[in-house]
Structure 1
Amino acid sequence: MAASTLNYGTSPFHCTLGLFCRSRDGRLLNAEGKGAEVIIRHWPEILEQLAACNTTFKPLSSGLMVETTCFDAVLDHRGSLLEQSHTRLRVREIYRDTSKCYVGHISHPSQGTYDDAFLEWFETLLISTTTLKPRLNQQLPASSHRVCDSSAENFWNWVRTLFIPDSALRTQLDHEPKAPASRNCQAIAEKITALFERMLRNAAVADEWDDSGRNYFSRRVRDFVNRNEPCSMVLPAFPCKSPNHAKVGGSRPDLAERIALETLHAFVENVEEIYAPGATIWIIHDGHLLSSCIGVDDDVVSEYELNLQEMYRSMFGSSTDRQAIRFCGLSDLFFSKPDRIQTFNHSWVSDPELVHNSIQTKRSEAPELARKLVMASCGISRSHLRKLILAQDPAVLKSYRGLSRFMLQDLEGPVLAGQSASRKKKTASVVAAEMMARNQAYSNLLELLFPNYIRLSIHAHNNRGPKFGIRLFPRDRVRAIDDVDGRHEPVPIYDFQLPTPWHSCIVKVEGDEVAYLAKASVARQAISSARYTGGWVDDGGKGGYFHLRGVNVGLPIKVDDEKIEAPSVLHVDTETQSLLTRNNLDPYLEARR
């Protein structure tokens, strides 16, 4: 999807120039976001304004002080149609004692109608929550070392000279982290990159990993290695089981999810063998974002999230394991700290147009509030989306049509029961447009909250960054199929895009060395054909699956490993390209490109 075309609006996200870290004396330590290059280029002028302009101070219940400075600026947008612009900028900052630096957010005025109190709440959320940290050994322009401490900071410096007279202790408090001199950071980053390529990376049809993606990935890894911290990655995934029972064996996580978690955990274990701090993969549950689009009740999504986490804890119970894979829900992104709930005003999200719920589901208060907040803070213009569809923008129209077809299939059953064929198509199209809008807004939010994390996706991206497609199933253990009888024949589409655990299930055929990933209907059709016996196996909490046995069982069939090697991305025939175009869609994540 052409996110650069689709991602247009007037939300706080679209008014964000970027996020930054700076030292007390004004050195720029990091900058992320769509306007990062502008921030870097104009940092001396921004720094001068921060020192000269009036700043307001607002304490938080956590003890942090939010400092807000507004000023007029002339920005040079090189490479854009508008080379220079006169604008009003707002900078909010807090000082983080853990990283010994200021973390700030820069924005320009919105053309939309947003309450100033909401903007303050959301921007404060960002600077107090974002994972952005100083980048060590970075190539940022040297700025003047004009002291840019605020009046409040100067006061606390004076207090510390009174109550912490020990100069050595003051030096320890004020130090900036340094990269470990003895560590060959680049070599370690390259080893972790090679491990990712071997264990997780999913090759795309038009893959740019070798051209630029590998270097991008390695640079992100090195940022963590320089700080001697776990390599942090974020994966929006594991929403809930599809409501279409022709695809899945039930609403609970099953063996498909179990194998996916094992795959991710194995990668982290292998990273630890290379690099002692290891890695952490954050699974960001996104089921509540779309539950009211896909016909799943909020409490069903909540139960799925809880069951998935319980499954992981039953598989890996140590404290190290708990750091390897971590879980976060939609509401956690906004309300993980008490002061955010206390200062939130529900009138900020009272607009009924924030979310369009065209399918009747049981909605819970917390998920519905979180959905509205995603759209209020990072949502795109729906009218712009409609214009792109009507204008038949190639990329947007392709995704819209493909997602509409997918939803027509996924909602088949109780959700669309009793509707005419034309009504079903219309409903699927309306849902597809809403899902595109929500998905893009969610991607925008994660970009702000996890700007320095390595972003993973279960979809086939071009792998040039910032997102990288991954495979949740090892090639030597699981093969995706559309037919049990033809399970040993290659299925070209699955060389580049595997079905997800939440849209399929595991099928085991007695005598075969690999398991199969398929729709539940594939297993049921095999049983109804009388060529196979068996059924669903609930394996005592380890994850359900279909177990089949051929009626005329011969010798076990050994799968030739050469048939499951990673596919070449250089030679893709026309038929495969057509299949990919029609089927390379997962409504829960596809729009996040």
Structure 2
Amino acid sequence: MDVSSLSLASLSSANTEDFRLSETGASPVWSPRIKPVQNNPPKNKSEILKPLNSKVGDLDITSRIMTIIQGYGQNEENSSGDAWLGRFKFEARVRKAVDHNTPILLVLPAFPWKSVNKVEKVLGALPDLGEVLALGRLNNLCEDIEQIYEPGARVTITSDGLVYNDLLGIPDEEVYEYGAALRRIPAEKEYVNIDFIRIMNLLGLTDQISMTKEEYLQTVGGVRETLVERFLDPTFIATDAIEEDRDINLTYCGYLKFLAKDLKYSPVTAGVIGKNEYRRAVKRVAQDMIIRGKAFAAAIDWALPDHVRLSIHRSTGLNKLSFPLVPQINHFSMTPWHCCIAVTAKGEFRTAHKTALVDTHDLVEHEGRPSYFRDRSSPAEILD
């Protein structure tokens, strides 16, 4: 069960500046947003002329920023005992931003589309309360950094929807509609530190930022081919990588788990007969996703070399920071596009598949669409 201590009444009346999830990822908390406290004014002219960030100050503020970022993560245990194996790698990127007094940049490849299994797992094809909570937590990270570092931070979301959707039988139109609805959430909730970049922009195939559905669909052609041709290492063999690379193995196991449910309702397996053939289809799609994901990761590193890399997958933390979007107390959180949100009588958030909730919880709508489940003993407020 999730461990949020936010009450439904609080959430109903809260504005986005007051809705925060803790930086540790363990206990979402309700507290007013505290503005950064200004340092004591300089006592003499030499202090006024001193650079904004001295060398000692740079190292100190960089370390504090890294600790905030790390506090939001949840990496796998490792033999070295380090909580984040990749901290030193990404610390250099944060220090570079501090040296130039510019925002700390982070990137998260995620938010592809809602699961193809809309019978058992999710409420529909469009974002719901899960995405609102997820984007809110990303924005909270940036706000926490801003409390100690005035330029603040920004998270860029680059959707991986077009990287994988054809492998699961999800139409390009559905990817666009989910993404368009997702982009409206930060504006509506005033999550001012969230940016988006589409894969076609990431690859340099277009410089058009705002796209209609028609323009988007016209640009889709060749995206996946370009991605693999330009960024996949020709020596990369997925089966070997799955055996030899722990991070890739963790991602692959995660793919197997969700694909076992997803592909039951996908046109990709429409002609599959028998359990063994179905298992082979699941493994084949998972391996293809590993290949595309390897190329996508390389494209992100190429296009956004100064960004701290976040991930929604379990990992050792060597090349990214695993970032649970809706933290849970006993396990790494399911992503909002693979589950529903249940709000308990205590105002806690729990992630679960639709079939685990539909008989024991009430469905709550928001603006005419299903948004989340609520314990039948919960108060009747709606989360706005």
The answer to whether TM tops 0.5 is yes
Structure 2 residue aligned with 1:470:
323
Matched position secondary structure for 2:342? strand
Equivalent in 369, 373, 376 of residue 229 of structure 2: 376
The question of 1:237 aligning with 2:71 is answered no
8 A contact 2:84–2:316 mirrored in 1: no
Structure 1: which amino acid aligns with 2:349? Answer: A
Structure 2 residue aligned with 1:218:
91
Shift of 1:295: 1.5
The question of 1:186 aligning with 2:59 is answered yes
The question of 1:521 aligning with 2:355 is answered yes
8 A contact 2:342–2:352 mirrored in 1: yes
CA distance in 1, matches of 2:90, 2:312: 16
The structure, 1 or 2, with the larger RCO (C-alpha pairs under 8 Å, 6+ apart) is 2
Structure 1: which amino acid aligns with 2:343? Answer: K
Matched position secondary structure for 2:224? helix
Structure 2 residue aligned with 1:411:
263
8 A contact 1:538–1:545 mirrored in 2: yes
Shift of 1:519: 0.9
CA distance in 2, matches of 1:383, 1:201: 28
Report sequence identity in percent: 27
CA distance in 1, matches of 2:66, 2:161: 30
Residues 542-569 of structure 1: per-residue CA shift (max 9 Å, x gap) = 970012315xx9x9xxxxxxxxxxxxxx
Matched position secondary structure for 1:517? strand
CA distance in 1, matches of 2:99, 2:167: 42
Question: Normalization by structure 1: what TM-score?
Answer: 0.49
In structure 2, the CA distance between the partners of 1:542 and 1:193, relative to structure 1 (3 Å rule), is: farther
Structure 2 residue aligned with 1:157:
none
CA distance in 1, matches of 2:99, 2:225: 38
CA distance in 1, matches of 2:326, 2:258: 22
8 A contact 1:234–1:283 mirrored in 2: yes
The question of 1:538 aligning with 2:361 is answered no
Equivalent in 294, 314, 320 of residue 460 of structure 1: 314
Structure 2 residue aligned with 1:507:
342
Coordinate RMSD, CA, aligned: 3.1
Matched position secondary structure for 1:307? helix
In structure 2, the CA distance between the partners of 1:233 and 1:371, relative to structure 1 (3 Å rule), is: same
In structure 2, the CA distance between the partners of 1:188 and 1:520, relative to structure 1 (3 Å rule), is: same
The question of 1:420 aligning with 2:273 is answered yes
Structure 2 residue aligned with 1:440:
294
Structure 2 residue aligned with 1:353:
none
Shift of 1:411: 1.0
Structure 2 residue aligned with 1:352:
none
Residues 260-319 of structure 1: per-residue CA shift (max 9 Å, x gap) = 1111111111211211111011101110110101121001001111000011211117xx
8 A contact 2:58–2:95 mirrored in 1: yes
In structure 2, the CA distance between the partners of 1:240 and 1:224, relative to structure 1 (3 Å rule), is: same
Give structure 2 stretches of 5+ with no counterpart. 1-49, 209-215, 380-384
Structure 2 residue aligned with 1:430:
284
CA distance in 1, matches of 2:97, 2:236: 40
Residues 2-42 of structure 1: per-residue CA shift (max 9 Å, x gap) = xxxxxxxxxxxxxxxxxxxxxxxxxxxxxxxxxxxxxxxxx
CA distance in 1, matches of 2:361, 2:249: 44
CA distance in 1, matches of 2:265, 2:83: 44
Structure 2 residue aligned with 1:150:
none
Matched position secondary structure for 1:409? helix
Matched position secondary structure for 2:366? coil
The question of 1:279 aligning with 2:161 is answered no
Residues 55-85 of structure 1: per-residue CA shift (max 9 Å, x gap) = xxxxxxxxxxxxxxxxxxxxxxxxxxxxxxx
Structure 2 residue aligned with 1:335:
205
Shift of 1:473: 2.2
CA distance in 1, matches of 2:70, 2:369: 29
In structure 2, the CA distance between the partners of 1:397 and 1:309, relative to structure 1 (3 Å rule), is: closer
8 A contact 1:311–1:542 mirrored in 2: no
Question: Rg: which structure is higher?
Answer: 1
CA distance in 1, matches of 2:261, 2:251: 15
CA distance in 2, matches of 1:378, 1:547: 44
Shift of 1:232: 0.5
CA distance in 1, matches of 2:349, 2:373: 10
8 A contact 1:508–1:515 mirrored in 2: yes
Corresponding residue pairs, total: 316
CA distance in 2, matches of 1:214, 1:397: 21
Structure 2: which amino acid aligns with 1:436? Answer: I
Structure 1: which amino acid aligns with 2:375? Answer: L
Structure 1 residue aligned with 2:333:
498
Residues 360-382 of structure 1: per-residue CA shift (max 9 Å, x gap) = xxx94422311111011012448
Residues 194-224 of structure 1: per-residue CA shift (max 9 Å, x gap) = 22233x1114232754575444443321110
CA distance in 2, matches of 1:292, 1:308: 20
Matched position secondary structure for 1:407? helix
Structure 2 residue aligned with 1:167:
none
8 A contact 1:180–1:226 mirrored in 2: no
In structure 2, the CA distance between the partners of 1:276 and 1:377, relative to structure 1 (3 Å rule), is: same
Matched position secondary structure for 1:252? coil
Moved more, 232-241 or 367-376: 367-376
Equivalent in 73, 77, 97 of residue 205 of structure 1: 77
In structure 2, the CA distance between the partners of 1:376 and 1:519, relative to structure 1 (3 Å rule), is: same
In structure 2, the CA distance between the partners of 1:445 and 1:398, relative to structure 1 (3 Å rule), is: closer
CA distance in 2, matches of 1:259, 1:515: 9
Residues 486-523 of structure 1: per-residue CA shift (max 9 Å, x gap) = xxxxx4xx1xx2211111110123x2231211111110
Residues 404-449 of structure 1: per-residue CA shift (max 9 Å, x gap) = 4542322112433453123322322221221111010111111111
Structure 2: which amino acid aligns with 1:305? Answer: G
